[in-house]
A = this chain, B = another copy of it.
């Protein structure tokens, strides 16, 4: 790449000025009163030659590369959270920065190589992202410079951005309450491990708390909560079936994520039940599938894109601490209605 790129010296020569002058002008330095004519000449020459600065050379002096590292455990390539990258990319562009990405795949060796590779390239900071919202411990090498955690927290109080799952939980429950559901609301997707181990998930516990809090606010409580070993469609299917077998059926369920809800839909269909006439469903994430389901699934969206943006904003603003909670909002579709 960059075969015989035009250099600053070329521009200076063409403009009949020194490199210093050209540099000053091109960087729009204040306070240094260069003649209007010099400005003209410099711009003209740069334009004619198609000059573009060599970032590597520049960064050697300035120690800034306008490059941010985005390292994730696995998120980068997952359908689920491409949104985080997209948001980061957008924000980076707005700040004239660029993203270097790497994935550790949860492998310590890969992680070390990845981080070294980024640091060797003198990135201005790193965004360390996790696929599942959770607590993690940041590799020591990263403490050398600015870091912000994305979709994760750490014990050492690094700045981080997280979805506001607790309020999200309230939002989900409220969507049901406001339609008149109250004492026959069930949850699908309780999970001991996710709820108790913050290194596995921060979302499960927060969502559940939010749901319960919203119910408590109106003096109601959960009819039942079905456990699921994982949050996959098949588990949602099984959980819904078991819910339907009981004497008192829920009028509405909140699924801990959209994949569970997908499974729940299948169980409902098998039972000849109609959503939302017989049972309302609300869920979390706003996976693309939520829009494809019939009827469309109302779900509290994970604000991936915004989260990604925030992460780079924090990094570039030099925020060095604190948690940023990004609100989750309800995507209303047709899966929620008043109880029969």
Contact = CB atoms under 8 A, between A and B. Distances in A.
Interface string A37-68: 00000000000000011111101100101010
A117 B52 CA distance: 10
Given A76-B86, A89-B103, A289-B289, A56 B1 contact: no
Contacts of A146: 1
Nearest to A233: B292
Nearest to A74: B86
B144 A1 contact: yes
A121 B144 contact: no
Contact of A121 (B67, B116, B263): B67
Contacts of A76: 82, 85-86, 89
A116 B1 CA distance: 12
Interface in A244-276: 259, 262-263, 266, 269
Interface-centre pick from A1, A65, A145 (highest chain B CB count, 10 A): A1
A98 B101 CA distance: 7
Contacts of A67: 100, 121
A123 interface: yes
A13 interface: no
Contacts of A60: 54, 56-57, 60
Contacts of A122: 1-2, 54-56
